[in-house]
């Protein structure tokens, strides 16, 4: 067998190809591009997270399609990709955040929460020495937007299947991520208010969604700088924003 062939390397999660690539990670990143669009925008007044809630069937309850969840009181997360994989990472982040709050009587920083998620994401195919926890046999096929407010102010991070995390002022992921980023770049400015950011998130989702935007197929949450509390917007509030969109 020719050792340089792609087929020899694309089945292994811990083997580099001669070109320095790990194909399984690249496949996981591709899987994210089929996921729902998720958008995060950071402002001086707080952080906004918005997601498209794709429903595979009209008979499915929209409320059961969770793409935007709470990690801690001051931190939320939007996901795109395989929801089951996201649940494992989010549950891990919640445990880390609560352990930190219990041990140190303070909220865990958003960067530390993101780092904890990325540390777990990169451990695919490996065991946890001294524990009974079974590792994921493949990379996690999900990207997360982790947003919140800590002592350093509003924060927005993105994780990916390689275990890498980056900080952003505004970021879009998922099936409409590239188009959404182009739209956001044209409208975003550093002095944007929280209300303007909410409208930009909804306007961007409207521009990339295949279906007509409605209060039951999108969701939006914020974390204010002054309260440091995650708030999920009601359907009535979302409808009011949609009514102002061009």
* 10-residue averages of pLDDT along the chain (246 residues): 54 75 87 93 98 77 76 97 93 97 97 97 68 71 97 97 96 96 95 97 95 91 97 95 92
The whole-angstrom separation of Cα 202 and Cα 207 is 9
The angle formed by the CA atoms of residues 83, 62 and 30, to the nearest 5 degrees, is 30
> Packing angle between helix 83-104 and helix 110-121, nearest 10 degrees?
130
**DSSP notation for 9-64:** HTT-SS---TTS--HHHHHHHHHHTTSPPEEEEEETTEEEEEEE---S-TTS-GGG
Q: What is the pLDDT of residue 62?
A: 62
Q: What is the pLDDT of residue 170?
A: 98
**What does pTM read for this prediction?**
0.90
Q: What is the pLDDT of residue 16?
A: 80
CA atoms within 13 A on the CB side of 98: 8
CA atoms within 13 A on the CB side of 82: 15
CATH class, domain 21-242, is: alpha beta
22: nearest Cα among 174, 119, 164: 164
């Amino acid at each position: 067998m020719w050792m340089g062939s792609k087929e020899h390397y694309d089945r292994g999660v811990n083997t580099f190809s001669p070109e320095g690539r790990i194909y399984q990670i690249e496949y996981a990143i591709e899987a994210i591009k089929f996921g729902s669009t998720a958008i995060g925008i950071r402002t001086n007044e707080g952080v906004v997270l918005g997601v498209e809630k794709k429903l595979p069937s009209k008979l499915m309850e929209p409320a059961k399609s969770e793409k935007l969840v709470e990690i801690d009181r001051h931190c939320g997360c939007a996901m795109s990709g395989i929801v089951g994989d996201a649940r494992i990472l989010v549950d891990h982040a919640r445990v880390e955040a609560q352990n930190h709050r219990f041990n140190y009587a303070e909220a865990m920083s958003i960067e530390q929460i993101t780092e904890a998620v990325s540390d777990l994401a990169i451990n695919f195919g490996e065991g946890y020495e001294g524990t009974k926890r079974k590792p994921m046999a493949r990379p996690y096929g999900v990207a997360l937007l982790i947003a919140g407010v800590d002592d350093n102010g509003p924060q927005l991070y993105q994780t990916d299947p390689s275990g890498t995390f980056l900080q952003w002022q505004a970021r879009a992921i998922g099936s409409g991520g590239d188009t959404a980023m182009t739209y956001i770049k044209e409208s975003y400015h550093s002095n944007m208010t929280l209300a303007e950011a909410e409208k930009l998130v909804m306007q961007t989702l409207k521009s990339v969604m295949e279906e007509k935007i409605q209060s039951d197929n999108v969701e939006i949450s914020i974390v204010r700088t002054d309260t440091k509390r995650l708030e999920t917007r009601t359907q009535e509030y979302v409808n009011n924003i949609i009514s102002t969109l061009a």
